[in-house]
């Protein structure tokens, strides 16, 4: 099976030796997306805005790969504070309105750039 690197200017560039996503077989695997606005470089700090920005970054990467949020089968959400779970979930539910993917959500001690959230996904290709 061959792998293909996915890269788009619609999401922040990698801040280390990794790709925004890898397409392999019938799946796309994204790297964790911080809530950084790709145009301004701003790190969004309020949890609702941060959740939306992380998911918009994921959405842009999936579009570049030729797939979309409705093809996501698994998400992994990292929160710096589990007290933000309800607010994150409220925004998350606006992006996954039907046939929601499987999901894990964990609290972590710290995220790059001291972000409040990071989200990665696995999506099917058409």
- List the structure tokens of 98: 């039907």
| Strands (E) located in 15-116 | 21-24, 27-30, 72-79, 102-107
User: How many residues are listed for the chain in this entry?
Assistant: 126
User: Rounded to an integer, what distance in angstroms lies between the CA atom of residue 109 and that of residue 96?
Assistant: 27
Contact indicator for 85, 65 with CB cutoff of 8 Å? no
Choice among 63, 76, 105, 124 that is catalytic: 105
Catalytic residue list contains 47: no
User: Rounded to an integer, what distance in angstroms lies between the CA atom of residue 81 and that of residue 16?
Assistant: 24
Catalytic annotation, residues: 105
């Amino acid at each position: 099976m061959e792998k293909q690197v996915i890269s788009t200017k619609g999401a922040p560039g990698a801040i280390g030796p990794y790709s925004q996503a890898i397409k392999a077989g019938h799946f796309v695997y994204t790297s964790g997306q911080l809530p950084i606005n790709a145009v301004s470089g701003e790190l969004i700090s309020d949890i609702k805005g941060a959740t939306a920005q992380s998911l918009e970054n994921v959405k842009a990467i999936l579009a570049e790969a030729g797939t979309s949020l409705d093809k996501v089968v698994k998400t992994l959400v990292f929160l710096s504070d589990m007290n933000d779970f309800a607010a994150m979930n409220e925004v998350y539910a606006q992006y996954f309105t039907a046939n929601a993917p499987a999901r894990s959500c964990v609290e972590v001690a710290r995220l790059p750039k001291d972000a409040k959230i990071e989200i990665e996904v696995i999506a099917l290709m058409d």
